Amino acid sequence: MSTAVKKENKANRPARGGVATFVEAIRQGIWEEMERDPSVFVIGEDVGAYGGAFKVTEGLQEEFGAERVIDTPISEAAIVGAACGAALMGMRPVAEFQFIDFISCGFDMLTNYAAKCRYRWGGGVAAVFRGPCGSGVHAGPFHSVNAESFFLNTAGLKIVEPATAYDAKGLIKAAIRDPDPVIFFEHKKLYRLPRLREELPEDDYVVEIGRARVARAGRDLSIITFGYQVLNALDAAEELEKEGLDVEVIDLRTLAPLDREAILASVKKTNKVLVLHEAARTGGIGGEIAGVIAEEAFEWLDAPVVRLASLDTPVPYSPPLEEYYLPQVSDILAAARKLAAY
């Protein structure tokens, strides 16, 4: 692939740093990586002329040309296959799914090819597969999935889901530079949430893949979560503080590789753990985290590990049913109080 001559298009170029929403942070990160490395390109449905379904790639095609921002037919299998092939030829593709639900169409290529390339012959697929995930926006069962557990059982894939604008930018840049395939989940409720507007550094930075962060320090119990549920956990922690309960919130940021050290450090500090995630409970990452804690920190526990997740049903379209289906702040409060009293 030849590199298109970049056109002057200052009106659409995002600011480097400054106050940004979650979606603007991701756009900044991709844009800066395309400026830094001519092998980086974007591929997906409506990523070019339209600027992406959620406008993450807005202005990129005007700036970098149609050879580096490629609109595709409606075929996720073809998008993933093209990205894998380009990566093996030395390119750095960033493949977008309009909704992460449709990643299932590329499942075979991701799990049976991209994930195994390094193990098979020593060369990894340096590609990012990104798109909007998550429920709570009344988009129905086909546009609301949380798909992380589909891939957690596949060695060779890195899985990322940020919860802040700072992390979204730093992690997308790290994912693009990574030598292996990275699945990058972006909860759609976070994209333009005013609460997540924050000042980003003007200087180049990355957030290391595989490292959790302490979103809120506490001593009485730990809530381990990621993505949009970090906000619910923080809201619940603030309410529980009024009751004299000091809650620690761990934002995993990366689901594979899992930051076991951060999880175990929090368990040893608070001795009680609530694992919170938005995907269905059965087969979810909460079971894996609970297993790690049981195997490696059992003697520090003062209560059983509690899992709080969505119901084992498709995501309802009806707003009241969807609210019932999802973990709410009220559910976190009830679970935390019960756990604290154990």
Residue-wise pLDDT for 190-238, tens only, equals 999 999 999 999 999 999 999 999 999 999 999 999 999 999 999 999 9
Residue 162, pLDDT > 50, answer yes
List active site positions.
Answer: 143
Q: Quick one: pLDDT band at residue 123, thresholds 50, 70, 90?
A: confident
Domain boundary assignment for the chain: 18-200, 213-340
Helices (H), the chain: 22-36, 60-64, 76-88, 107-112, 117-121, 148-151, 165-177, 229-241, 260-270, 285-296, 319-325, 329-340
Residue 195 burial by CB count (10 A; 0-12/13-18/19+): exposed, middle or buried? exposed
CATH for 213-340, among 3.90.1310.10, 3.40.50.920, 1.10.1240.10, 3.90.1420.10?
A: 3.40.50.920
pLDDT band at residue 12 under the 50/70/90 scheme: confident
Report the pLDDT value the prediction gives residue 281, as an integer from 0 to 100: 96
Three-state DSSP class for residue 62: helix
3-state class (DSSP) for residue 169: helix
Q: Rounded distance, CA 187 to CA 202, Å?
A: 25
> Is the confidence at residue 55, as pLDDT, over 90?
yes
Share of the chain above pLDDT 70, in %: 97
* Predicted pLDDT at 10: 53
pLDDT value at residue 316: 97
Q: What is the pLDDT of residues 230-283, one digit of tens each?
A: 999 999 999 999 999 999 999 999 999 999 999 999 999 999 999 999 999 999
**CB-CB neighbours of 26 under 10 Å:** 27
Q: Tell me: cis bond preceding 257? Omega within 30 of 0 counts.
A: yes
Residue 224 forms beta bridges with which residues? Answer: 250, 275
* Encoded tokens for 325: 């289906």
pLDDT for res 121? 87
What is the pLDDT averaged over residues 6-21?
A: 73
Please answer whether residues 268 and 300 qualify as being in contact, where contact means their C-beta atoms are separated by less than 8 angstroms.
yes
Mean pLDDT for the chain overall = 95
CATH node for 18-200: 3.40.50.970
